[in-house]
Chains A and B, each alone.
Chain A
């Protein structure tokens, strides 16, 4: 089977542009910020669809292997980055060609584009040859590239561009500007006025010439450039004749496979750039093991968006584990406000998402089943509704979610039914959790109703821990233990993180 895509065994499908929108769960899980940041790393490409749509299950290991190649070899990564840059330059030249009004300039832009193109392709081939490529994706691509670079049309393009560029290289001239006329002669005068000035003041500089910028910055030719060109066309007629032949022979030479490879490889590049930045801030990532079955454990996970914010404010980031033992299906997380419950739920969700995209996850170790989808239900903060109105709004969304959720999905429900009485909230919560568990989903349920943790072996009770029984200092650690049902106070000191423990932590340098 030939090479199709670096993102999977089949070609990545096309989507209508209006369908390329962020999935709803992105906003609840802070993934909107995370993915926006990733996309920001390579804004020259529209990578949204690659991040918004999940791949086939078989493509997850395919992608992880490609990422491993890119991540293991800094040089490979840089080579792909350079390749993309050069491809953009090729396209820029071709755009200039389309924009130009002057036939002779169009021909030259085409030649420049072709020259750049053959060099970038040859460079990519020799670059990849030096690399130890382990993934099916890269190996397949390299095989394809080998055939392409030895194909007859490509070789002819190489020869023709080389010859043409050589001819232009020899074309040099000097211009003498006077008040009422300009004298143009062939040949390059080596005398450099600016270099002489510089040498007066400093040690003799190493450079041969101090070049100045072309004052006619636009890609179109200025009158002066056209005038020069007209004068040069006579002595160099043969060069321009050959250029015309070249132009009519070589059109549309850029391979679709390469263009697609260039764009699709940005999916990995953007992620790596983002990941490296996080790693520089001392946040860990690992490759997830994604496999069929029920195994789900995640060690030392964290919320990427919050971690970045906290790190900028020099606040410590707490890592937590999420482990479902055989037969367990739902975490019910209780504990004090601002205790890290929601953050924990988000961290889990982010890891699940990144794992099924075939990327690295913000954990120290992760093994996950193949999920069918991610579904979330968070209290909408913008909604000013309270009481019955709020409950109604929540139930409407919950109803929609229950109707669309597929088996084997990952479900996150955060602080639902807060406006109902505890008893009602307990009953509704119980029904909700049971519904998703019966659908064979795994999930997290963040709540104040600690009674929900009881009487079901499929439910795991997790508690956002305090430093000690009598303290109200939050540790942001999520512990696996029975809920205690305590209520918790809050104070201004905590707002500024000025309890004794906080300060000790903050002034550690």
Chain B
């Protein structure tokens, strides 16, 4: 039974180039967003984290998810109801398996474990029936193709006959409680060992318990009955029990397959439901705060068009509970964005807001902007030099370059790279030289780069090159020095930090 709510034709799809996930989560402050989505449900937390960090790279799947998210937002109670049912089914089966495991500190007979499996199968079938009838009631509410197709498959796969068959089989097997007799057929194989063994049938023991044979009876049997072996020898009795147990274990395997299939169906269903409920949770939260979100527009790969309005940093919005400073931008055929300007001017926030929006778009979600339109990337990478790291020491540069080097191992021409004050752990001259090599090589390769930097020499040299695909942005600073935290297109300043410092400190006039 296929769920297929996250991908159109599979449970787990192909995902983007491997990204430096843990760093992205830290650099883009994503944990706050995951927590808002999870609302204390640990399973939802883990699910949204995994789903969002495995970016989609095709438009169709994104639209597929976008439609289901709309459905989920409009029929939130139906979705949560379904999610709870599935969670309950999984919890009950887990509880049952744990309980039987605990009980089995004393080794359980194979007959007993066949019974346990049957009981478990019963539980699963019960939940499956409940789920089906729940879905029957609410199906008409849904609009998205994904959610509709899921219901159609459910109706097709879980027909009454199937459920009845399982139930019958369970009843039939119950006689094992009293213990039964088992018949095998086999031949003699290599080295006279048993070979080609099959279980022929199980027979319920007679109405009255056969009483154990007395000594005289045994002797008579031994003499006259050529086909019979009396289990009076302990080794022989042990072997006979072992053979019996192996037969039951063999039968058990047949059931295990169905139990696995049914359990995995519930697991497969819980996963996408958790993701969609997480999305709805986030949506509802932003509605409550009156902060606008929107479904992004995905352009084709070859249309190099970036346009957004009212883009803000989502985690900042969650913290401050109001709409933070927003930015607008519309560009065509640009692939290198260099962002300069004063500290504390909103550059990192801008970089984060863009990264988050792109990542959520590529998860099929809505984005923190009133309008957002961009292409898809194979992979999204971040390389942030964190404040606490800027203290210059040689080990830091080594660590920084190693992280960059790891990214270079994975990055593709169609990737997005966010650089935040990279190569600031060495001298400006050396940092500029490294930055220039890295950026130029990636730029020529086609990778899209957003780069916040203080490396003056690098910025100047790049500006002087007049690259067609490059754009220079800066944190706005009003004439009186006030910061607006807005990012605008601006020619990079011609003065370097060092010259300022010189003028400030060197007071001698010649």
A-side interface residues toward B, CB under 8 Å?
Answer: 93, 96, 100, 104-105, 108-109, 112, 168-169, 171-185, 187-194, 197-198, 200-201, 209-216, 219, 221-225, 227-229, 231-232, 234, 314, 492-493, 495-500, 503-504, 506-507, 509
Contacts and interface: CB of A to CB of B under 8 A. Distances in A.
A212 B185 contact: no
A182 to B, nearest CB: 5
Nearest to A112: B190
Contacts of B444: 504
Interface in B199-230: 199-202, 205, 210, 212-213, 221, 226-230
A314 B406 CA distance: 12
Contacts of A178: 181, 210
Nearest to A188: B185
- Dominant secondary structure of chain A at its interface with chain B: mixed
B405 A497 contact: yes
Interface residues of B, number: 77
A102 B467 CA distance: 87
B31 interface: no
A192 B200 contact: yes
A274 to B, nearest CB: 26
Given A184-B229, A224-B243, A498-B437, A193 B191 contact: no
Given A177-B243, A180-B213, A201-B258, A108 B226 contact: no
Given A500-B440, A506-B408, 11 more contacts: A174-B200, A176-B183, A177-B182, A180-B210, A181-B221, A181-B229, A194-B254, A223-B239, A231-B227, A492-B394, A496-B404
Contact of A194 (B199, B205, B408): B199
B442 to A, nearest CB: 7
Contacts of A504: 441, 444-445
Most chain A CB within 10 A, of B194, B245, B440, is at B194
A201 B201 contact: no
Interface of B: 165-166, 169, 179, 181-202, 205, 210, 212-213, 221, 226-231, 233, 235-236, 238-240, 242-247, 250-251, 253-255, 257-258, 394, 397-398, 401-402, 404-405, 408-409, 411-413, 434, 437-438, 440-442, 444-445, 447
Contact of B201 (A108, A191, A212): A191
B335 to A, nearest CB: 14
A507 B412 CA distance: 7
B197 A212 contact: yes
A179 B201 contact: no
A507 B165 contact: no
A224 B236 contact: yes
B180 to A, nearest CB: 10
A214 B227 CA distance: 21
B230 A180 contact: yes
A207 to B, nearest CB: 11
A310 to B, nearest CB: 13
A215 B254 CA distance: 17
A498 B404 contact: yes
Nearest first, the 8 closest Cβ-Cβ pairs linking A and B are A215-B246, A224-B239, A503-B441, A212-B250, A500-B437, A496-B405, A223-B235, A174-B185
Nearest to A215: B246
Given A171-B188, A176-B183, A216-B242, A492 B230 contact: no
Given A172-B186, A223-B235, A504-B441, A509 B229 contact: no
24 contacts: A100-B191, A105-B191, A175-B184, A177-B184, A177-B240, A179-B210, A179-B212, A180-B213, A188-B185, A188-B196, A189-B183, A197-B255, A200-B166, A209-B196, A213-B197, A214-B195, A224-B239, A231-B227, A231-B229, A314-B409, A503-B408, A507-B413, A507-B445, A509-B413
A184 B205 CA distance: 18
Contacts of A173: 185-187
Contact of B202 (A100, A193, A225, A503): A193
B211 to A, nearest CB: 9
Contacts of A492: 394, 397-398, 401
B192 A183 contact: no
A201 B394 CA distance: 66
B401 A109 contact: no
Contacts of B402: 496
Contacts of A176: 181-183
A212 B182 contact: no
Contacts of B235: 223
Contact of B198 (A194, A498, A500, A506): A194
B240 A200 contact: no
B244 A177 contact: yes
Contacts of A181: 213, 221, 228-231
Contact of B227 (A180, A183, A192, A221): A183
